[in-house]
Amino acid sequence: MEGRQSTGSPLSPLASHYEIDDWVWHKDDREGYRRSRVLSVDNFRDSIIVAADGPSGASQAVRKSDVRPFYDVGEERTFQDCTEMVHLDDANILDNLRKRYSKDEIYTYTANVLLAVNPYKSVRRLYSREEMEKYWGKNPGSLPPHPYAIADVAYRRMQRNRKNQALVISGESGAGKTETAKITMHYLTSMSRTDVEHGNKIQEKIVKANPILESFGNASTVMNMNSSRFGKYNEMMFDRVGSLVGAGIKTFLLESSRVVFQQHGEKNYHVFYELLAGMDEEFLDRLMLEREESYKLLHSSGTPPLQDGSPETQRLAKQFEELKYALSLFINEEEQ
Ligand SMILES: Nc1ncnc2c1ncn2[C@@H]1O[C@H](COP(=O)(O)OP(=O)(O)OP(=O)(O)O)[C@@H](O)[C@H]1O
Ligand SMILES: [Mg+2]
């Protein structure tokens, strides 16, 4: 191209990738990848000098392996499936996810894998009954990426091929695995055919099992205020016509040491705080507990004691009521 000059040997395969004045992504500690312009290419040292985009525009030498091609489609255009992109590398995938995230489009496909970026806020329009109906029986490519679409494909395949289906949800702590599992299970329980006699009861039990699991198995950590401290395998069973007929949960590797010790800034399992906040005075007396007391097992890692009537205590008391109701669906009052 006129006005462009490459300092690399034409025989070097790397040299042909980048030329002076090209826009590229280069690795950046803070932003992941940063948009920059190539100032010079040194093939002997395997380095490229780039000047960062933006007012600071400082130049720096970076390794070629830390540089990715920049593919300009404008700030507005995004790809709902990353495989449609010209350059399928980490920098361009991150850029696509970032642009989508800024428009509250938190889901993106990479072929038949769904990537979810945790919005850390409620994006209500994504999870309504109407939204569920849109995805029911539809080709996943014809609608925006969504866990409903993935759940729907699994349901259809199960019916068509008469084979068990599995959804694997993975990610680091706080990524949104538990929430995504609940979203898919909610879709399957709400939309699948129900056995008239047992259907509603099973649906309610599946949904209400979550508060029990979370009270006894989730805790506040530095990564996530509602971190699952155990692995979980949820099963849903359907009959030949696709009606939900049963469900089960297997749990693995509960972090039991948390009951007696928590790292600084972390808490014990939710249930202990919910008990203190939600039990009436008489019951607390019987157990020789006091709501506002600072207990070694619950408060020694920097968690302040509860304050009667505070919004946090009220929130925990509400969760305790939910827990009691959920337990009543599974076991009778005496066992509780
Ligand atoms: N789709 C979503 N919409 C809104 N908020 C979300 C969504 N997914 C996750 N969150 C928020 O992020 C928090 C952490 O998500 P979640 O508990 O699902 O993470 P996780 O991957 O299960 O983490 P851990 O491995 O620690 O259990 C949730 O409590 C919720 O506030
Ligand atoms: Mg979790």
Where along the chain do its domains lie? 1-70, 73-192, 220-241+249-329
Question: Does CATH place domain 220-241+249-329 in 1.10.10.820?
Answer: yes
pLDDT, position 16? 42
Q: Going from the first residue of the chain to its last (336 residues), give the mean pLDDT of each consecutive group of 10, the final group possibly shorter.
A: 34 56 89 90 82 77 89 90 92 95 96 96 94 95 96 96 97 97 94 72 87 96 96 94 91 94 96 97 94 95 93 97 93 70
pLDDT, position 31? 85
pLDDT, position 335? 66
Asked if 167 contacts 154 with a C-beta cutoff of 8 angstroms, the reply is: yes
**C-alpha span between 219 and 251 (Å, rounded):** 16
pLDDT, position 203? 84
CATH topology of domain 73-192: Kinesin (3.40.850)
**Residue of the CA atom closest to atom 30 of ligand 1:** 120
**Residue of the CA atom closest to atom 14 of ligand 1:** 174
- Report strand pairing: 218-219 vs 193-194: unpaired
CA distances from 129 to 94, 191, 200, 211 (A): 31, 9, 16, 21
Q: Which of 108, 118, 148, 258 to mutate to test the pocket of ligand 1 (most atoms within 8 A of CB)?
A: 118
**C-alpha span between 243 and 239 (Å, rounded):** 5
pLDDT, position 48? 83
Instruction: Check pocket membership of 267 for ligand 1, CB cut-off 6 A.
Output: no
**C-alpha span between 96 and 25 (Å, rounded):** 13
pLDDT digits (tens, 9 = 90+) for 109-150: 999 999 999 999 999 899 999 999 999 999 988 999 999 999
Closest CA to 188 of 233, 119, 228, 135: 135
Selected from 3.40.50.920, 3.10.580.10, 2.30.30.140, 3.40.50.12780, the CATH number assigned to the domain covering 1-70 reads 2.30.30.140
Atom of ligand 1 nearest to the CA of 106: 1
Q: What's phi and psi for 285, nearest 5 deg?
A: -60, -45
pLDDT, position 30? 85
